[in-house]
A = this chain, B = another copy of it.
Amino acid sequence: MKQFSAKELQERIQKYIDGLDFSQGPQDLYDPIDYVLGLGGKRLRPVLMMMAYNLYCEDVEKIYSQAAGMETYHNFTLLHDDLMDKADMRRGKSTVHKKWNENTAILSGDAMLILAYRLMAQDCIADKLPQVLTAFGKAALEVCDGQQWDMEFEDRKEVLVDEYMNMIRLKTSVLLAASLQIGAMLAGASERDASLLYEFGVRIGLAFQLQDDFLDVYGDPAVFGKNIGGDILCNKKTYMLISALEKADDGLRGELLHWIDATDYVPVEKIAAVTHIYNVLGIDSLCRNAIDQLYEEGIALLDKVEVEEARKDILTAYVRGMMNRNL
């Protein structure tokens, strides 16, 4: 049974997405959709869906529509999140509410969500539609829950590590998890396998997000692709900051709060000072260990999936790549 490489799957879904034509109505409603879907990206979610499907079946073209539906949903969340976060740029280009306007961003996003459902339902493999929609709808709603918690946490003084982990599970992990789960469902995998792949996806998603938090502080700027310390400068409540506030004694806590409340500072000094506090508290290894543990838990769950071990290599390598573990 043929197995596709990550590269092949990404190219195939990219071509499928490029071929989608949404331009049936008012141009100013559909142009932003083409624009957002055309910004590119790694197409992580559809690739994961197809990889899960490809563990059991080789006719991956049968689920292009569902894979594209998942990507369309994900891009819809980026569009509306950028509007809510008042972000100007996404992947080096203007966001929709900047390039067009806020109302266009609202309404094009709404249309995109409807299109995501259309793709999800379209040509769905016989009998799988109800369970696919249930899994998709659950994840889609949880992503909204996650975004809501994320916005609420911004205005809160204190956030617990557990609350943070729950928020990133909802905002990031469940959609990766549901992609894998739906791919397995569509392939006719057992319920147990679909659940294991879902839980594998949850762990990998959490590890992935914690790694993002970690690399903002300890990453190599040349590799990370963003400036180091961005989260520190804007006091973003990451795993690093929340853990530090939880672990710090009164002295270090005061120092940390001083930098959080500071309005007049030299950026490199704030980054250096906060990083130093993290170092003193051992936040670097705390985070590193949490990532490792989640990753290992994920792999252990994948091990239990009842598919010949060698068939899992592509998925494992892909996830290792996501985690930069092949560097």
Contacts and interface: CB of A to CB of B under 8 A. Distances in A.
A145 B108 CA distance: 10
A98 to B, nearest CB: 16
Interface in A101-157: 103, 106-107, 109-111, 113-115, 117-118, 121, 124, 129-130, 133-134, 137, 140-142, 144-145, 147-149, 151-152
A92 interface: no
Given A25-B148, A28-B152, A147-B107, A117 B129 contact: no
B134 A121 contact: yes
B26 A148 contact: yes
A139 B151 CA distance: 32
A80 B114 CA distance: 14
Copies, count: 2
A26 B145 contact: yes
A268 to B, nearest CB: 32
Contacts of A152: 26, 28
A323 to B, nearest CB: 29
A29 interface: yes
Contact of A113 (B83, B113, B145): B113
Contacts of A28: 148, 152
Contacts of A84: 103, 106-107
A145 B25 contact: yes
Contact of A137 (B114, B124, B134): B114
Given A129-B130, A130-B121, A145 B110 contact: no
Interface in A71-91: 80, 83-84
A29 B107 contact: no
B137 A118 contact: yes
A124 B29 CA distance: 31
Nearest to A126: B130
A148 B149 CA distance: 30
A110 B141 CA distance: 9
Contact of A106 (B83, B117, B130, B137): B83
Nearest to A138: B118
Contacts of A117: 117, 133, 137
**By CB atoms of chain B within 10 A, which of A109, A114, A121 has the most?**
A114
Nearest to A77: B110
30 contacts: A25-B144, A26-B148, A26-B149, A26-B152, A28-B148, A28-B152, A29-B144, A29-B145, A80-B106, A80-B107, A83-B106, A84-B103, A84-B106, A106-B106, A107-B144, A107-B148, A111-B144, A113-B113, A113-B114, A114-B137, A114-B140, A114-B144, A117-B117, A117-B133, A117-B137, A118-B141, A121-B130, A121-B134, A121-B137, A133-B133
Interface of A: 25-26, 28-29, 80, 83-84, 103, 106-107, 109-111, 113-115, 117-118, 121, 124, 129-130, 133-134, 137, 140-142, 144-145, 147-149, 151-152
Which 8 residue pairs across A and B have the least CB separation, nearest first? Answer: A25-B145, A29-B148, A26-B148, A111-B144, A84-B103, A118-B137, A121-B133, A114-B140
